């Protein structure tokens, strides 16, 4: 039997046609249903039962569904796995519909447009980005957290590495692009970053949103902003009044760190666990509000580079440190503050409930207390913050008068609005309550009249109010007093004309009461909507206070000190510590070290055995600089620091498998990035550059890199190496200084002291480390014999800098793996492909360039 396409399925197919890239949640009664391929895939992803519609036909339709009331969890699961969900609802009353009930998609949910708290991490932003490419010159770039309304934009120079760095800095969940990009570009981004890619080709600002973009915004940025806003309008289909005015930013206003540097330094994500534990963010986060936690992460991702801004933040932290008791009060007050940013978004969206408004009211009650506590500190530098605190007293008063202290979650079943707020509502409630009192009195009256003590007056939604008498007592009922309504197994239910009339009055009053309560709640919500901009500004101020108190707590509890910042390039850290390692190990176990560098000593060559702490030492210098430039105190006894414009790192040996790069290629690409972009105000950390290739190759490259940075770049550089031959470079490079991590032998065993000393290491202790790893004793003995032979025949292979020469550029010759006959005739397409491949400059391509080029080549070959 063939499957007949019903009107309902025709409606489903017509709607699905416009949402091919999303799971369509099609509302049928109390369920969201999915059909065909959506059902097959969703049943696997959500682990729910797959059934079939028209199961007796020749072609049954695969089908699965989830209950309407618990759909949020299933939607979160699909979004978390990187899918879109289109919510299709009934948009007319089934009782009034002529034929098929009208249905429409009311919202498209994607990874970058999550609004419900269940799908969001409270201390993390959920950014969606939009990119507009202007010819071959630059990118217009915009990003937004739809849940908070934060909207920012900038112009980025052309180059996928710049774009990739912004996307990774933001930890963006979704990117919106248009037809100006080739097909390979978004696919390569998706492959490398796991970003969800969406499309929007309308780059003109939508009507009604012009106020979000000021005249100072660059036209290229406006295109990206417009793309993002049009995507929101197309997918969200609801009020977006919580979106804030676009804030323009320049990446040059902050310290620059590429994705690899942030990963190597474990600023917000650990390399091993991929979580927050063990990161700088984990250490510094003692914020008490969700808003403060999100702002703290933004501060760490974008450290300051302007001296006045850094000093101002340091002064604020100092004020909090010096006022312990007030800080403790602030902490307790902040704990009572709700997530005002995301609440504003939910108010605009219309999905806020009465309990949210109670939390908002309780939060606003804390604001005057926060303000008074800050005033009591009597710190002139805090005047700006104090003046910007807006208590929103009128709104707090409205919420106090309108909303019950413990309202239900549902906004349609009553119990939300307080008595005395609205006279009409009070009248309905009085009628309902008096009616119920009359019902209770009726029960006592009928028991006395009939003598039946078990007689009761009850209610259900189907039959309304009734008088119930057990069958054993039916004979005692007066004749013609009751009208039979329902027969049960062991009882009869009756009504009287008087009871029926009272029922009508009671139910009518309850229905009107709930309808009026809902209307009044919507009015209160609209009142809150008028305060959205003020609440968002208040949220920013409270977030700043929260971050400052967090820095103060961390600094005081961990004995951090305020660094002196300078523009002269002087770096002097006395008894510095790695903040995270110290936190894990405890202050008594950690070995502190100095680091001294200036214009005459801008490079440290660090030698010492494996496991001795070279990498930890290098990381602690970088983390100390970052902490100082976000305004926090630092782990040291005393410190003077320059302001770094950029930090570059090459630490660790992980291959970049996604981009198809080996360890050595990654080393060279990251080294090139640092050398090409660093300035004399930058900090470079290179850990054992050159180890990924043959010994002489690696040593030659390491020496050349050291010399180039020393002579051409002049950046502050920490360069660790196992090539002890390089230590003689301090004889010719005046700005390079040898230091080493000390170790001693005791009874034939190596003991790491983790202490940085001047001069080169006397030996590598590599065999001792192997011994610590419990390699076989016979193997260790053989290694020592071989080492003695090698050391006895060792020759100097370092070429002094003055003898270095620039190699002549020779034409590269590509050797063929297979002989090609001279008479081989190739098609024009083959000749074109060969020419294209020959002209690829592989060594100067970014991983993203390489993936895009390979994708284009594959398409040409398939054609």
pLDDT at 110: 94
In terms of C-beta density within 10 A (0-12 exposed, 13-18 middle, 19 or more buried), how is residue 860 classed?
Answer: exposed
What does DSSP assign to residue 216? T
Instruction: Give the residue from 531, 625, 634, 525 showing the smallest Cα distance to 575.
Output: 634
Q: Between helices 423-450 and 497-529, what is the axis angle to 10°?
A: 150
| pLDDT grade for 810, boundaries at 50, 70 and 90 | very low
Contact predicate 680/714, CB 8 Å: yes
Average pLDDT for residues 297-310, to the nearest whole number?
96
Q: Is 615 annotated as a binding residue?
A: yes
Range from 250-259, 704-713, 817-826 carrying the lowest mean pLDDT: 817-826
pLDDT at 838: 73
Residue 700: pLDDT over 90 = no
Question: What pTM did the predictor assign?
Answer: 0.84
Q: Are 626 and 265 in contact (CB under 8 A)?
A: yes
> pLDDT grade, residue 502 (50/70/90)?
confident
Least confident window among 46-55, 139-148, 300-309 = 46-55
What is 7-109's CATH superfamily? DNA repair protein MutS, domain I (3.40.1170.10)
Identify the pLDDT of residue 692.
63
- Report the pLDDT averaged over residues 737-747: 83
Over range 483-505, report the average pLDDT.
Answer: 89
Mean pLDDT in residue range 555-583: 95
CB distance 271 to 263 below 8 Å: yes
If you count DSSP H runs as helices and E runs as strands, how many of each does the chain have, helices first?
A: 26, 27
Identify the band that residue 801 occupies on the pLDDT scale cut at 50, 70 and 90.
low
* Residue 613 marked as a ligand binder: yes
What are the residues facing 576 on neighbouring strands?
593
For domain 423-503, is the CATH number 1.10.1420.10? yes
DSSP annotation of 462 reads: T
610 marked as part of a ligand binding site = yes
Average pLDDT over residues 251-263: 90
Q: According to CATH, what is the number of the domain 285-392+531-557?
A: 1.10.1420.10
The pLDDT tens digits for 523-564 are 999 999 999 999 999 999 999 999 999 999 999 999 999 999
DSSP three-state, residue 146: coil
For position 747, what pLDDT does the model report?
A: 67
Mean pLDDT of 484-501: 90
Choose the CATH number for 121-251 among 1.10.510.10, 3.40.630.40, 3.30.420.110, 2.40.50.320: 3.30.420.110
Give the span between the Cα atoms of 704 and 48, in whole angstroms. Answer: 61
Q: How many CA atoms lie within 13 A of 458 on its CB side?
A: 15
Query: Percent of the chain having pLDDT more than 70?
Result: 88
| Residue 457 CB partners (closer than 8 Å, separation 6+) | 439, 440, 442, 443, 446, 465, 466, 467, 468, 499
Exposure string over 544-553, b if 16+ CB within 10 A, otherwise e: bbbbbbbbbb
Q: CA 462, CA 322: separation in Å to the nearest integer?
A: 68
Q: Is 119 annotated to bind ligand?
A: no
Condensed to tens digits (0 to 9), the pLDDT of residues 142-158 reads 999 999 999 999 999 88
Chain-wide mean pLDDT for the chain?
87
User: Could you tell me if 85 and 75 are in contact, meaning their C-beta atoms sit under 8 angstroms apart?
Assistant: yes
Question: With left for phi above 0 and alpha for psi between -120 and 50, is residue 702 left, alpha or beta?
Answer: alpha
Q: Is the pLDDT of residue 386 over 60?
A: yes
261 is in an annotated binding site: no
Model confidence at 655: pLDDT above 60: no
Give pLDDT, residue 848: 59
Long-range CB contacts (< 8 A, 24+ apart) of 804-808? Answer: 804/704, 804/707
CA 245, 196, 38: angle at the middle one, nearest 5?
120
Out of 3.10.129.10, 3.40.50.300, 3.40.190.10, 3.40.50.620, select the CATH number for domain 564-764.
3.40.50.300
pLDDT at 813: 43
């Amino acid at each position: 039997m063939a499957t007949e396409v019903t009107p309902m399925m025709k409606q489903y197919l017509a709607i699905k046609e416009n949402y091919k890239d999303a799971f369509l949640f099609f509302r049928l009664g109390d369920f969201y249903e999915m059909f065909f391929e959506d059902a097959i895939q969703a049943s696997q992803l959500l682990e729910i039962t797959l059934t079939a519609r028209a199961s007796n036909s020749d072609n049954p339709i695969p089908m699965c569904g989830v209950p309407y009331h618990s759909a949020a969890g299933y939607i979160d699961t699909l979004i978390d796995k990187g899918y879109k969900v289109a919510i299709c609802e009934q948009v007319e009353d089934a009782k009034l519909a002529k034929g098929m009930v009208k249905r429409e998609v009311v919202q498209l949910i994607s990874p970058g447009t999550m609004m419900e708290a269940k799908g969001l991490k409270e201390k993390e932003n959920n950014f969606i980005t939009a990119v507009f490419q202007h010819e071959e010159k630059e990118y217009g770039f915009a990003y937004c957290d739809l849940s908070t309304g934060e909207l920012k934009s900038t112009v980025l120079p052309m180059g996928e590495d710049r774009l990739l760095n912004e996307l990774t800095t933001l930890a963006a969940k979704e990117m919106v692009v248009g037809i100006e990009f080739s097909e390979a570009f978004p696919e390569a981004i998706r492959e490398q970053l796991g970003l969800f890619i969406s499309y929007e080709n309308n780059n003109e600002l939508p009507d009604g949103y012009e106020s979000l973009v000021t005249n100072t915004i660059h036209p290229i940025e406006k295109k990206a902003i417009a793309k993002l806003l049009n995507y929101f309008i197309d997918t969200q289909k609801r009020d977006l009044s919580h979106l804030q005015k676009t804030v323009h930013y320049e990446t040059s206003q902050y310290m620059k760190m590429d994705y690899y540097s942030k990963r190597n330094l474990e600023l917000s994500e650990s390399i091993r666990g991929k979580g927050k534990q063990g990161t700088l963010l984990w250490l510094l986060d003692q914020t008490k509000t969700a808003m403060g936690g999100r702002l703290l992460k933004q501060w760490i991702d974008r450290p300051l580079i302007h001296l006045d801004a850094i000093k101002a933040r340091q002064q604020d932290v100092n004020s909090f440190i010096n006022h312990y008791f007030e800080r403790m009060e602030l902490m307790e007050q902040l704990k009572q503050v709700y997530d005002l940013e995301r609440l504003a978004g939910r108010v605009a969206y219309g999905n806020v409930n009465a309990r949210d408004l109670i939390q908002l009211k309780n939060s606003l009650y804390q604001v005057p207390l926060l303000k008074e506590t800050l005033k009591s500190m009597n710190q002139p530098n805090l005047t700006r913050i104090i003046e910007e605190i807006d208590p929103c007293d009128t709104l707090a008063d409205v919420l106090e008068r309108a909303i019950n202290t413990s309202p239900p979650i549902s906004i349609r079943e009553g119990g939300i609005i307080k008595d005395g707020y609205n006279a009409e509502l009070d009248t309905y409630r009085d009628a309902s309550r008096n009616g119920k009192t009359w019902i209770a009195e009726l029960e006592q009256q009928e028991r006395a009249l009939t003598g039946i003590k078990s007689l009761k007056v009850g209610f259900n939604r189907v039959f309304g109010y009734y008088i119930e008498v057990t069958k054993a007592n039916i004979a005692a009922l007066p004749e013609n007093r009751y009208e039979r309504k329902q027969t049960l197994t062991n009882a009869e239910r009756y009504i009287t004309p008087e009871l029926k009339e009272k029922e009508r009055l009671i139910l009518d009053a309850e229905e009107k009461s709930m309808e009026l309560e809902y209307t009044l709640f919507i009015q209160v919500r609209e009142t809150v909507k008028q305060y959205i901009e003020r609440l968002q500004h208040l949220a920013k101020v409270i977030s700043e206070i929260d971050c400052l108190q967090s820095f103060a707590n961390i600094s005081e509890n961990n004995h951090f000190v305020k660094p002196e910042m300078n523009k002269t390039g002087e770096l002097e850290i006395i008894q510095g510590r790695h903040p995270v390692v110290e936190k894990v190990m405890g202050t008594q176990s950690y070995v502190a070290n100095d680091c001294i560098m200036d214009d005459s000593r801008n490079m440290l060559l660090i030698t010492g055995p494996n496991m001795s702490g070279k990498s930890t030492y290098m990381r602690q210098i970088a983390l100390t600089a970052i902490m100082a430039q976000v305004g926090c105190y630092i782990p040291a006894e005393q410190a003077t620091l320059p302001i770094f414009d950029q930090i570059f790192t090459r630490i660790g040996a992980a291959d970049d498998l996604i981009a198809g790069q080996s360890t050595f290629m990654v080393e060279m690409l990251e080294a090139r990035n640092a050398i090409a972009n660093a300035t004399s105000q930058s900090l470079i950390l290179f850990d054992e550059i050159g180890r990924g290739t043959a010994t002489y190759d690696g040593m030659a490259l390491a020496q050349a890199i050291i010399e180039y940075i020393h002579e051409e770049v002049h950046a502050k550089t920490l360069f660790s190496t196992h090539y002890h031959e390089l230590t003689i470079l301090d004889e010719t490079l005046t700005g390079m200084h040898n230091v080493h991590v000390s170790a001693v032998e005791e009874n034939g065993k190596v003991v790491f002291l983790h202490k940085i000393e001047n001069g080169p290491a006397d030996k590598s202790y590599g065999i001792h480390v192997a011994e610590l790893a419990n390699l076989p004793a016979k193997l260790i003995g053989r290694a020592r014999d071989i080492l003695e032979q090698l050391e006895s025949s060792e020759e100097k292979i370092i070429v002094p800098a003055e003898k270095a020469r620039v190699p002549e550029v020779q034409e590269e010759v590509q050797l063929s793996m297979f002989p090609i006959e001279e008479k081989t005739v190739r098609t024009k397409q083959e000749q074109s492909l060969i020419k294209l491949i020959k002209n690829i400059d592989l060594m100067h391509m970014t991983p993203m360039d390489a993936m895009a080029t390979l994708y284009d080549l594959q398409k040409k070959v398939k054609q």
